[in-house]
Structure 1
Amino acid sequence: MSFLSRIMVLKSKAHFSAGPRGHESEKGLTFQGVRKTSGQQARSRIAIMIGAFTLVYAVIGGRLVYYGMTPPETVSSIRPAENQVASRPDILDRNGEILATDVRTVSLFAEPHKIVDPDEAVELLSTVLPNLDRKAIYKKLTSNSRFQWLQRQLTPKQQSEILSLGIPGVGFRPAKRRFYPAGDAAAHVVGYVNIDNRGVAGMEKYLDNQGLADLAAIGMTSTSELEPVRLSIDLRVQNIIHDEIKRGLTDFDAIAAGAVVLDVNTGEVLGMASAPDFDPNNPGETIDLKTKSGMNRMSGGVFEMGSTFKAFTTAMALDSGKVSMNDTFDARKPLYIGGFTIHDFHATRRILSVRDVFIHSSNIGSARMADAVGVEGHREFLTRLGLLTRMETELPEVAAPSQPKTWKKITSMTVAFGHGVSTTPLQTAVAGAALMNGGKLLPPTFLIRNQEQANEIAKAVVNERTVENMRYLFRANVLDGSGSRANIAGFNVGGKTGTAEKVVNGRYAGNVRFNAFLSAFPVENPKYVVLSIVDEPKKAYKGCGVTAGCNAGVIAGNIIRRAGALLGVKAKFGPDGNALLVSY
């Protein structure tokens, strides 16, 4: 073997490791090739990527656990599907009795593009909803729209039966329906809502006017139950009022009747009703537009209040200082002025004291009192009592009073006994309360108002001496005058009747009357005013007649007799008020 051959054999058997400078490694390290180095780098990169993914998914998992354990946040505009219906707050009476509340229901809808057989769908739905308008439903099911309401506010039974029909393309959406446990008893005060649960009348409409409707319209509804709204109404008193005016419609054969009980010291309305009325649970079926059954006559109707205005005329005369309780007025013959004749309905034809003018309801005496004060003084006083301007209260149905465009001497004289100015009965009761409570005018409220709040807004309108005299005259009229049928034993009632002739075809009709009775009790320190009205009575009560004392006075007396104790007024008997009735 040649030398070169030996050298090649030795090289093939030798193991070399290149050093940093290409020299043989002194420590016997082997040479690492390019392939091995690339593999190690790949493994390192994979390890980094796995670590990164692990970290990302760990963060995501941690956040999911966090969100899962965190209570759901209340977000007004993002709501679960079942809560997407706007809620309304419960309406309660002053004692916590429910007057209005929401109940859950569902509404039936259809997606016409998914309806397979419209004819069959209509037939099947009619088996559960027999009153369904088949033509209208068929038209909806064959329309080009993608959504149609078929029936709103179904009962659970109806929903279950429709589900069992298995009709493709129809479904249900959650809804809420307003329920009024008291029915028609407080209909005009509480009001009602429409099919979309929006307030239409009464305090329901008031709530919407406070911003509830606007919030619901933009989806800003609450997931939690809204705070209940507590009214000043006492449902017990409300039921009594409602019962008595309903009875009055029948007993006196009248076209309408109404009454209100007002706290004279706070201005709170404890109860108010007007008949004919309606059932707020089914307003569309019970409101008769022809008979104006939906009209709240107590605050939404204006009437000439007749001789009840003589209370304000007398108070005005006494408060002005131009008339005293010792003055007299000549009523021996009619009063002629400006081509008009003023005469008394129950003519006494004698000189009358202030007390006589009041209890005999003398038109002549009242006209002379107004003349003593003057036209401007008369108009200013009625404005001061709030009788010539629109009343401010929460109830939306409030009518503005009417008065002559120009006031002349004859205008003042006729207004003195209730002709020429029309006001709402509630407005008259509010003004009457100012004559009984120490001379403070308080705007009426259908919400809870305490004495401190009332004192802050009270406005002095007459002096205390005038109030004392008016309390005396009110009591005298019940004891010796036209208000005797409201003299309920133990409650010391005082009041003033008003029998007004209604205008028919532009003239006053002697046989068509609007009667009212303005009363207060206990009159020595009045706590409540009760005003009752009877519109066009035709039947005499126990041979009494059809004047105010025979019907409106009877209604007011019955309300006081039944509600007095519930209102916290302790009946007093005997000369000193300490005697008790004892039965064996």
Structure 2
Amino acid sequence: MIRVPLRPLARVIAARNQGIDPDVVDAERRAAACRLRRAEETRRAQRRLWLLSAVFVMGFGAVAGKMAVISASDVPQQEQSATADPLRAHRADIVDVNGELLATNIVTSALYVETRRMVDPEGVAIGLANIFPDLEAEALMTLFARPGNFHWIQSQVSPEQLQAVHDLGQPGVFYGPRETRVYPQGRRLGHILGGSRFEREAARAAETAGTAGVELMFNERLGDPERIDEPLRLSIDLRAQNAMRDVLAQQMERFDAIGATGILMRADNGEIVSMVSLPDFDPNDRPAPRGPDADQLFSRASQGVYELGSTFKTLTVAQSLELGLVNPETMIDTRGPLQWGRFRIRDFHNYGPELSVTEVMEHSSNIGTARIALDIGIERHQEFLRELGFFDPVEVELPESRSARPLLPPRWSDLSTMTISYGHGLAATPLHLASAYATVANGGLRVTPTLLADAAMPTEADRVISERTSGMVNRMLRAVVSDGTAGFADVEGYEVGGKTGTADKPSQGGYAEDRVIATFAAVFPASDPEYVLVVTLDEPEDRSGPVVRRTAGWTAAPTAGMIIRRVAPVLGLRPQSRQSDPEIPGMALAGGRG
């Protein structure tokens, strides 16, 4: 039996008194109560819906925010920059004076792993070790076990290697794009360009920075985003560079020398057309500074400090001519040996009681040059060499050269002046010598060596000697080749002038008897020099005859002649008639040691 709840009696009586059916009143009451319940339920549902919407909005907002942060940030880097600067992934090209490419970028890939995403670390290690010969599986496993999720594997990966990595099918192995610096000429410009490396790396880019040479000197210029499309143009002529390196390598092997240097410079403004130092290195695979091939990084041209022998006689004679102390025909006492305290200065041969200044140059007389230097005096001699740049490092665009300071005598005496006058007692780089010869040969205006094309010309403010003195010196240099110790440097049609220099190498507080630095400093054409060439061979030995010959006349001079024969046509110099030149004696080299 279902019990029906009773209606309130008071409401029934009140309805009847008003003549209203109590059932209608009760139905209206129930309808009103139902509406109130529905309204409350609607409000409750709306509140729940708004709350749920807010939760969904907050959740999806957090996810979207995290995705935005991830997309706008790099994968953790191996190297964090100390600054907030963006990575400069691009770098300007370097070209030679004719626009030939010397350094550029190519797109490659870098390989890295995220260990948290790996499924089979051991399989990854074995697979990568099989692809990259320089990697070992055990070393990779040790790397994967280190703290952190992100680890670099290879900075540069070839397309073939990248495909092999893809074929592994291993999760957790990733690659990022790179612009890798490459040097198409390889070893031929190693000491000039220097090389580069990745300085800052991220997963999607890496910033390249120079490590030495022109790359380091012009690091900011090459990485400037506003000048990326503007190549850095050097004064180097790649054709001359290739020719010089080929000749030096050939002659270095022929004379069993331990090193060789060649510098070709424009005489008028000091632009370096070619500069070679052997042994050299490939900047694409730069040796470690302390590795077994570290000696290849040393540039004999701009860093090597040597006594350069009788090539200094040209500078001594030039100063004496400028001061009016001598002229080319002045007779100089060459009786020897020249005694100075307990020291004796000798000549390679006995040249008789006296020689003219020109003959002192031709026969390379130490005694004659020492007497000329004594008349100049210590202070004037020092000042002249200072003007020519022998007291400071060479100001060339190579950071390494800044440490190559000439070695000067601790106490500059009369004896120092005499020995330095013929190239002993002061050590400098071959680049110092090339600059000095360009100054003396170009009419007397000091030049500063440069590796940049379109260098400024010197002005009268740079004058060191007069044009008249320069002309006399050039004629003497020509005589040294046509009649003196440098006959093997003569090249038909190119009027070569120059001076030989053979310096014993220092050894245990003295000088070695069988090891020399052989140097030849040349100008051509001698009547109006356009180029200066300095060639240096370290410990050369000519064993083609019955006795071993080490002097520059037999080693450096013929090497210079071979270089001029190769590069002069490349530089646009046309051979001239030699009708006015005297015949070169067959045994001209026997005159002196040089």
Q: TM-score range by the shorter chain?
A: 0.7 to 0.9
Q: In the alignment, which of 503, 506, 510 is matched to residue 506 of structure 2?
A: 503
Distance 1:288 1:454, change over 3 A: farther
Worse-superposed segment, 567-576 or 475-484: 567-576
Q: CA–CA distance in 2 between the matches of 1:514 and 1:576?
A: 34
Q: Which residue of 2 aligns with 1:440?
A: 445
Shift of 1:474: 0.2
Contact 2:474 2:526 in 1 (8 A): yes
For the residue of structure 1 that corresponds to 2:188, the secondary structure is helix
Q: Paired residue for 1:415, among 411, 420, 445?
A: 420
Does residue 192 (structure 1) correspond to residue 203 (structure 2)? The answer is no
- CA separation in 2, counterparts of 1:299 and 1:292? 14
CA deviation profile, 1:532-562 (whole Å, cap 9, x unmatched): 0000012335668221011111111011111
CA distance in 1, matches of 2:284, 2:573: 34
Q: Aligned partners of 1:135, 1:291: CA distance in 2, in Å? A: 29
**Aligned equivalent of 1:131:** 134
Query: 1:207-245 CA deviation, whole Å, 9 max, x = no partner?
Result: 21x4656x7xxxxx56x8431111100000000110011
Residue 375 of structure 1: which of 366, 373, 378 is its match? Answer: 378
Q: Does 1:204 align with 2:219?
A: no
Alignment partner of 1:513 is 2:516: yes
Matching residue within 482, 485, 493 for 1:482: 485
Within the alignment, does 1:567 sit opposite 2:578 as a pair?
Answer: no
Q: Please state if 1:429 is matched with 2:440.
A: no
1:545 aligns with 2:559: no
Cα 1:518–1:236 change in 2 (3 A) is same
Shift of 1:376: 0.5
- Using the TM superposition, give the Cα deviation of residue 144 of structure 1 relative to its aligned residue in structure 2, in angstroms: 2.2
Residue aligning to 1:554 = 558
Q: What amino acid is aligned across from residue 198 of structure 1 in structure 2? A: A
What SS does the corresponding residue of 2:108 show, helix, strand or coil?
strand
Query: Contact between 1:240 and 1:562, CA under 8 Å: does it hold in 2?
Result: yes
Cα offset, 1:574, TM superposition: 4.3
Residues 521, 528 of structure 1: 8 Å contact kept? yes
Q: Which moved more, 1:518-527 or 1:546-555?
A: 546-555
Aligned residues: 485
- Amino acid of the residue matched to residue 551 of structure 1? T
Q: Where do 5+ consecutive residues of structure 2 fail to align?
A: 1-85, 200-207, 582-594
Q: Would you say the 8 A contact 2:112–2:151 is kept in 1?
A: yes
C-alpha deviation, 1:349, in angstroms: 2.9
Q: Is the 8 A contact 2:541 2:555 kept in 1?
A: no
Shift, 1:195, TM fit? 4.4
- Tell me if structure 1 keeps the 8 A contact 2:287–2:294: no
Distance 1:494 1:104 in 2: 49
Given the alignment, which residue of 91, 95, 99 partners 1:88?
91
- Could you tell me how far 1:576 is from its partner in structure 2? 6.5
Please say if residues 276 and 293 of structure 1, whose CA atoms lie closer than 8 Å, have aligned partners that are also in contact: yes
SS at match of 2:263: strand
| Cα distance change on mapping 1:254 and 1:443 into 2, 3 Å | same
Alignment partner of 1:264 is 2:275: no
Distance 1:263 1:130 in 2: 47
Moved more, 346-355 or 434-443: 346-355
The correspondence of residues 134-153 of structure 1 with structure 2, limited to 5 A, is 134-153=137-156
Shift of 1:346: 2.2
Shift of 1:266: 1.8
Task: Indicate whether 1:404 and 2:415 are aligned.
Answer: no
Q: Distance in 1 between matches of 2:228 and 2:333?
A: 66
Instruction: Provide the secondary structure at the position in 2 that maps to 1:447.
Output: coil
- Write the letter of the residue equivalent to 1:569: L
Equivalent in the alignment of 1:37: none
Using the TM superposition, name which of 331-340 and 133-142 deviates more.
133-142
User: CA distance change for structure 1 residues 285 and 304 in 2, over 3 Å: closer, same or farther?
Assistant: same
| Identical columns (%) | 39
**Counterpart of 1:283?**
286
* 2:352 corresponds to 1:349: yes
Residues 45-101 of structure 1 show CA distances to partners (whole Å, capped at 9, x for unaligned) of xxxxxxxxxxxxxxxxxxxxxxxxxxxxxxxxxxxxxx9562221110100110111
Q: Counterparts of 1:125 and 1:96 in 2: how far apart (Å)? A: 40
For residue 136 of structure 1, report the CA deviation from its aligned partner. Answer: 2.4
Residue 182 of structure 2 is matched in structure 1 by: 179
Q: SS where residue 435 of structure 1 aligns?
A: helix
* 2:250 maps to 1:247: yes
CA offset at residue 167 of structure 1?
A: 1.4
Q: Indicate which of 523, 536, 539 corresponds to 1:536.
A: 539
Which residue identity lines up with residue 329 of structure 1 in the other structure? I
Following TM superposition, by how much is the alpha carbon of 1:205 offset from its aligned partner in structure 2, in angstroms?
1.2
1:329–1:368 CA contact under 8 A, matched in 2: yes
Tell me the equivalent position of 2:465: 462
The CA deviation at 1:335 is 0.7
Point out the more displaced range, 398-407 or 120-129: 120-129
The answer for the alignment partner of 1:40 in structure 2 is none
Stretch deviating more after TM superposition (349-358 or 417-426): 349-358
Relative distance call for 1:225 and 1:392 in structure 2 (3 A) is: closer
Identify the residue that residue 335 of structure 1 maps to in structure 2.
338
Alpha-carbon deviations, 1:237-265, whole Å to 9, x = none? Answer: 00011001101111100000110110001
Give the 3 Å change call, closer, same or farther, for CA 93–411 of structure 1 in structure 2: same
User: Could you tell me how far 1:286 is from its partner in structure 2?
Assistant: 11
User: Relative to 1, partners in 2 of residues 1:434 and 1:128: Cα closer, same or farther, differing over 3 Å?
Assistant: same
Which residue of 2 is the match for residue 169 of structure 1? 172
Take 1:258 and 1:192, find their aligned partners in 2: how far apart are those partners? Answer: 20
**Which secondary structure does the structure 1 equivalent of 2:265 belong to?**
strand
User: Following TM superposition, by how much is the alpha carbon of 1:135 offset from its aligned partner in structure 2, in angstroms?
Assistant: 2.6
Cα pair 1:441 1:458 within 8 Å, conserved: no
Looking at structure 2, the residues matched to 502 and 90 of structure 1 have their Cα atoms a distance apart, in angstroms, of 41
Structure 1: distance between partners of 2:298 and 2:552? 22
SS at match of 1:500: strand
Paired residue secondary structure (1:534): strand
Check conservation: 1:264, 1:527, Cα contact below 8 A: yes
Tell me how far apart the structure 2 counterparts of residues 457 and 158 of structure 1 sit (CA, whole Å).
Answer: 60
Q: Deviations over 1:357-394 (max 9, x none)?
A: 11111110111011001011111110011122111111
Q: CA RMSD in A?
A: 2.0
CA contact (8 A) 2:287 2:293 kept: no
The alpha-carbon distance between structure 1 residues 434 and 85, as it changes in their structure 2 partners (threshold 3 A), is closer
Amino acid at match of 2:550: V
